[in-house]
Amino acid sequence: MRSYAPVRPGSIGQWLIVAVVVLYLGMILLLPVSAIVVQALKAGVGPLLQTFDDPAAVHGLRLSFALATVAMLANGVVGVAAALVLTRHRFLGRRLLDALVDLPLAVSPVMTGLAFLLLFGRSGWLESALDAAGWKVAFAFPGLVVATLFVTFPFTLREVAYVLEELGTDEEEAAATLGASPWHTFVRVTLPNIRYGLGYGVVLTTARALGEFGAVLVLGGAISGHTQTATTFIYNALEERQEPAAYSVALVLALASVLVLAALEWLKRRRRKEL
Amino acid sequence: MNGTHPAVAPGLGGLAVRAGVCAYVGALVALPLAALLIEGLGQGAAALWAAVSAPVAVEALRLTLLTAGIMALVNAVMGTATAWVLARYDFPGRGLLSALVDLPFAIPTLVTGVMLVLLFGPQSPLGGWLAAEGVRVAFAAPSIVLALLFITVPFVVRAVEPVLMEQDPAEEEAARTLGAGTFTVFRRVLLPPLFPALLSGTIRSYARALGEFGSIVVVSGNIPYQTLTAPIYVFGEIESGRSEVAAAVSVVLLAVALALSVGARAIERLTGTARA
């Protein structure tokens, strides 16, 4: 079977379609991005550097990067394990697990925050147990962690599961037949095969964790210098009409997402070459 | 064809991993959602109905469904066109355009909202000009649609693109040999195989839009009965300490989003395009 190779647009009609798409994406995506770039250029580097003198802004950014690191590690490890279980194991309840792991994508971040508040908040299911143990989850760091873990859980899992499905089990079976232990098979055969999918998932997880807003706002309470993340700092700054501070931190996050985008593209190209 | 059956029956280690994964998903995903369901449904049908049928809630739900609907229509058309252009044509900047499509995955939704405020807010040149022309975008309903269009760009494109890549030119050539014109070829030969992916991508973008919060909360103005969407209404109810009302509206919205996800998944399963 052949497939289409991309060709130079040959007629006016074809160039027109290309132009319409370029114009549309330019309007929907690039125009808003250019607005923040213009704002940053207009303000100059002064206010941007001043932002780094604001302890609340610095704390928010550091907190967001810390949460992204935790999510990347925890959901990276569990995501790979879950992808293996879903694609390589057959057991009662597999379909249920398969449905559950996709759920975070369907839940609004606000509702995620609410769901955890109903567990950990005032008169929540686990409140008395946590009180007895002296743990604080809602409006504290652990709350931010669980909220971030929830919203980012599907990303690594889905990317890795997709690659595992494509790969099939031939190589793993060969390794097992040759006497490799399951762990050895995983480290020497499976892991190298899934590395770009895993990388892609981990980058998506990081981006989503850095940008998470609704769930950490509801469950964390955005207490300045305590549970205020980069995004909730921006939100509070806008509420208090401190626009320059809000724009500066937004610009930092926008710059981070350019890096994320570059990483995603690179991984996508590498993966395409391998498959 | 690669083997797809389980490699080996899992040993003790494999079973431990399986148990660990089930426990993690149970505690992190199932438990909080169970709490939300029980809070939303637990007060009985009358309380649920009272919460959902309050005029503010009805308007918020209506606005959410409507703006998401407009977004989905635009996305279905422009997403397919974008996928088409990326899959079929080679032109300067094609790689950049392809990367740009993924931008919404990389950028925080709150930052999207901030960018739209900067672009269309009353202090901006564009916003000022539009206001002088009598067009309100920021703090009005159009800003909601624009925010939704921004965040959902990848959905239809990434669903349709792989199908386009796999199409065999022989079919189009056969149709042309038989005398079909460009439009007929598109409508009768090229479009039908795209349709399932197009539909599932559109449904997924709609489901995603129903829950959107960060980009809308800063740009829409959140005026009850006018620009207050359902997730932001839920947020307001949580802040006011009425978590039972918030949970009730959440359950309704969640049910719609879940039904849509299940539908999209069924389409992907049936047509073998199980990829987001």
Cβ-nearest to B119 among A35, A162, A172: A35
Joined tokens for residue A264: 């995603």
Name chain B contacts of A91, Cβ cutoff 8 Å.
18
> Taking the model in full, what pTM does it have?
0.93
The arithmetic mean of pLDDT across residues B53-82, rounded, is 96
Each residue of A184-229: pLDDT tens digit? 999 999 999 999 999 999 999 999 999 999 999 999 999 998 999 9
pLDDT at B1: 40
pLDDT at A4: 82
- CB pair distance less than 8 Å for B149 and A28: yes
Residue A93 Cα, gap to closest chain B Cα (Å)? 9
Cβ-nearest to A146 among B28, B168, B234: B28
Q: How many CB pairs under 8 A join A and B?
A: 301
Locate the chain B residue with the closest alpha carbon to A39: B118
Give the orientation angle of helix B191-210 with respect to helix B243-271, to 10 degrees.
Answer: 170
3-state secondary structure chain B: CCCCCCCCCCCHHHHHHHHHHHHHHHHHHHHHHHHHHHHHHHCHHHHHHHHHHCHHHHHHHHHHHHHHHHHHHHHHHHHHHHHHHHHHECCCCHHHHHHHHCHHHHCCHHHHHHHHHHHHCCCCHHHHHHHHCCCCCCCCHHHHHHHHHHHCHHHHHHHHHHHHHHCCHHHHHHHHHCCCCHHHHHHHHHHHHHHHHHHHHHHHHHHHHHCCCHHHHHHCCCCCCCCCCHHHHHHHHHHCCCHHHHHHHHHHHHHHHHHHHHHHHHHHHHHCCCCC
pLDDT at B4: 53
Name chain B contacts of A78, Cβ cutoff 8 Å.
20-21, 24
A68, with CB counted inside 10 A (0-12, 13-18, 19+), is: buried
Residue B37 Cα, gap to closest chain A Cα (Å)? 9
CB-CB contact of A244 with A47 (8 Å): yes
**Which of B213, B215, B240 should we substitute to test contact with A (largest number of A Cβ atoms within 10 Å)?**
B213
- CB pair distance less than 8 Å for B7 and A172: yes
Residue closest to B209 by CA, chosen among B149, B169, B251: B149
pLDDT at A210: 96
pLDDT at A231: 97
Predicted-complex ipTM score: 0.92
CB-CB contact of B195 with B80 (8 Å): no
CB-CB contact of A139 with A117 (8 Å): no
Place of tokens 């064809």: B1
Q: How many CB atoms lie within 10 A of CB A250?
A: 31
Joined tokens for residue B231: 């997730």
Residue B7, pLDDT > 70, answer no
Each residue of A14-65: pLDDT tens digit? 899 999 999 999 999 999 999 998 988 887 777 778 888 899 999 999 999 9
Percent of chain B with pLDDT over 90: 71
| H or E element, residue B147 | helix B141-151
Residue A104, pLDDT > 90, answer yes
**Which of A91, A110, A116, A159 should we substitute to test contact with B (largest number of B Cβ atoms within 10 Å)?**
A110
A221 near B CB under 8 A:
no
- CB pair distance less than 8 Å for B182 and A165: no
Each residue of B8-40: pLDDT tens digit? 567 888 899 999 999 999 999 999 999 999 999
Residue B76, pLDDT > 90, answer yes
The arithmetic mean of pLDDT across residues B240-255, rounded, is 94
- CB pair distance less than 8 Å for B31 and A119: yes
Cβ-nearest to B7 among A85, A88, A107: A88
